[in-house]
Chain A
């Protein structure tokens, strides 16, 4: 079960989240919110692609579904906004069950691009749905009134604590029976199946969990932007970001997506400050992803971690 050290990390994460929400200035909070949302999204994609071996190229579908579900329920009912945010992942997680049952008939690359088609269908259906604002989108007006105060402050607190809690929860999860089965699945699907792991069931569980997590992160992001359109919420750039962060940082590790998020956002901020365009940024990131894949297909963290550990042990040994 959960260890003392992990409880301490959770407590520290909660403290940092509350203090950050209270004292960091608003502009920086927006950036941090985005960073944390990207980390959460990448970690979800990583759980599915890196651990479960199901690579989806359509997870932007759940970003859009989560955000639209949140906007619609918040605008049309009296349920408090933050309660809706908790409700959204439950709804989308349930919705993912029938979707997963159909999509798992497609294997590997077929599954990946099939999910992409699903995301595209959802984007165009949303654009046609006048009750969702059609192509011009929707503004967040919980209970019919504009959101008052600074939504980025509670959003940051939730995202920051969510990120810490997610990593702790995944560590705990990977020690459970189901988690060990997931690790076995990551190493070798056929061997895991022959050792008694119900691969199909595990795939479906992980698919629904990641759908739920992705929708929550998407909802959180669009609370801070207050406005949503189908073109934005279902855009392929969500998917590209999740994939590049995970692939560059490290597939199938918990630290990888954190490293990848820092690299991607760091590069974006540096390149924007230096006057490069968005297109040039994506060219550089695409090249980085291709090079990392060719040199270290599991990503930077799995390639670097043993060397960092080795450097630490030799330096402590030489001191002693």
Chain B
């Protein structure tokens, strides 16, 4: 029974980690920029939800998620249009990454200045304790909901990328940017849309994370590192890879928290590092 509970928790957390990772993979795969502000976007999504709930306690979850998604998407577009797009014009790809590092520092400290440095949790009323029973198996409603939303987001993203005109443009841009431009794709617009989508996904994951555990303005770094680990382990541009890597890390986190309560993300980072060393030794690293 405990095993099943543990597996289930790992599964839901893993879905969330995968979501964080896929947002980062999207911007890295398409824009060729590692967005170091991704962790901050996740945290801001969480705080947007906290703010909305404290203003309108009766707001349905769907609207909270939509609000956080739109808020962070707007922020993502603004960052892309004002700073990152310009930085991408330089020959050295590291310039754009450093710009996002600067933006992350600005966002983190702006968040501290506006909401304070305290930990906040998302108050979701009775939802946190509610349980549902399947054939003698009692599962928390919240983790179930989280997993559902995560899987829906993955499915929606896959549909968007592989089945729509926008997705075709994105894939074309990712494969051959110059030729995509020749074919009449408006690159800057697609870039802005991808930045919005990536930031919106970050916000969704942020809201769901804040329902599990409290967040602080300084949570961004931990979130960014998880996202990065998911991208490296799962491979860029692979939605399924991101889900698999998220599950591995989520499972690690849940199991290690059972045996060593105050280790934070130590074991997640260690698992990542060990896999990295193994890949380095066997030479299976791109």
A residues sitting closer than 8 Å to B (CB atoms) are 49, 55, 57, 101-102, 105-106, 108-110, 112-114, 116-118, 120-121, 124-125, 128, 236, 240, 243-244, 247, 277-280, 282-283, 285-287, 289-290, 293-294, 297
Q: State how many angstroms separate the Cβ of A109 from the closest Cβ of chain B.
A: 4
Quick one: given A102-B276, A297-B92, are A114 and B232 in contact (CB under 8 Å)? yes
Quick one: given A243-B98, A290-B103, are A105 and B266 in contact (CB under 8 Å)? no
Please tell me which one of the listed residues A124, A279, A280, A289 contacts residue B98 in the complex, with CB atoms under 8 A apart.
A289
* B contact residues around A283 at 8 Å (CB): 105-106, 109-110, 113
Cα(A247)–Cα(B280), bound, Å: 31
B277 in contact with A102 (CB, 8 Å): yes
Is the C-beta of B148 less than 8 angstroms from some C-beta in chain A? no
B106 in contact with A109 (CB, 8 Å): no
B266 in contact with A286 (CB, 8 Å): no
B225 in contact with A240 (CB, 8 Å): no
Q: State how many angstroms separate the Cβ of B249 from the closest Cβ of chain A.
A: 12
Is the C-beta of B99 less than 8 angstroms from some C-beta in chain A? yes
Is the C-beta of B120 less than 8 angstroms from some C-beta in chain A? no
* B contact residues around A108 at 8 Å (CB): 93-94
Task: Give 12 new A-B contacts, CB below 8 A, not counting A109-B94, A128-B263, A297-B92.
Answer: A102-B280, A109-B97, A116-B228, A117-B269, A121-B269, A124-B263, A124-B265, A125-B266, A240-B105, A283-B106, A287-B102, A297-B95
* A contact residues around B108 at 8 Å (CB): 282
B279 in contact with A105 (CB, 8 Å): yes
Is the C-beta of B101 less than 8 angstroms from some C-beta in chain A? yes
Which of B5-13, B62-70, B83-91, B177-185 lies at the interface with chain A?
Answer: B83-91
B263 in contact with A117 (CB, 8 Å): no
With most chain A CB atoms within 10 A of its CB, the pick from B83, B87, B94, B225 is: B94
Is the C-beta of B221 less than 8 angstroms from some C-beta in chain A? yes
- Interface hits, B203-233 → A, CB 8 Å: 221, 224-225, 228-229, 232
Quick one: given A282-B109, A297-B92, are A120 and B277 in contact (CB under 8 Å)? no
A294 in contact with B83 (CB, 8 Å): yes
A294 in contact with B273 (CB, 8 Å): no
Is the C-beta of B270 less than 8 angstroms from some C-beta in chain A? yes
* B contact residues around A128 at 8 Å (CB): 263, 266
List 26 interface pairs A-B (beta carbons < 8 Å), by A numbering: A55-B97, A102-B277, A102-B280, A105-B285, A112-B34, A112-B97, A114-B232, A117-B273, A120-B221, A120-B265, A121-B269, A121-B273, A125-B266, A128-B263, A279-B110, A279-B112, A280-B109, A282-B108, A282-B109, A283-B106, A289-B101, A290-B83, A290-B102, A290-B106, A293-B95, A294-B99
Cα(A109)–Cα(B97), bound, Å: 8
